[in-house]
Amino acid sequence: MEKKYRLQFDFTEERVERLDDLKVKTEASNRAEVIKRALHFYGLVVDRAVSGESFNLSNDLLIAICGVSSNKKN
């Protein structure tokens, strides 16, 4: 089993509200899932930028990474 670490973050009220909004919009099970998805997405963008590759956001990619479609009405 992979070792897990517990982390603590300090967020402003505005950021917590944004986190909760993203949780609802992406149907994430909890705030941690939103942060994990965001970290995964950010990692992909940074890796592409560092390697000089372009990055295109297709609807399929948005669904795979974020669990939400750009065509979905929120």
* Contact between residue 67 and residue 29 where contact means Cβ atoms under 8 Å apart: no
Domain boundaries, the chain: 13-66
57 has pLDDT over 50:
yes
- pLDDT confidence band for 74 (50 / 70 / 90): very low
Predicted confidence (pLDDT) per residue in 3-55, tens digit: 999 999 999 999 999 999 999 988 899 999 999 998 988 888 888 889 888 77
Please state the pTM of the whole predicted model. Answer: 0.74
Rounded CA-CA distance 71/29 in Å is 21
Instruction: Please check whether residue 63 is in contact with residue 69, taking contact to mean a CB–CB distance below 8 angstroms.
Output: yes
User: pLDDT-based confidence at 70, cuts 50/70/90?
Assistant: low
The label of the residue with tokens 């670490």 reads: 5
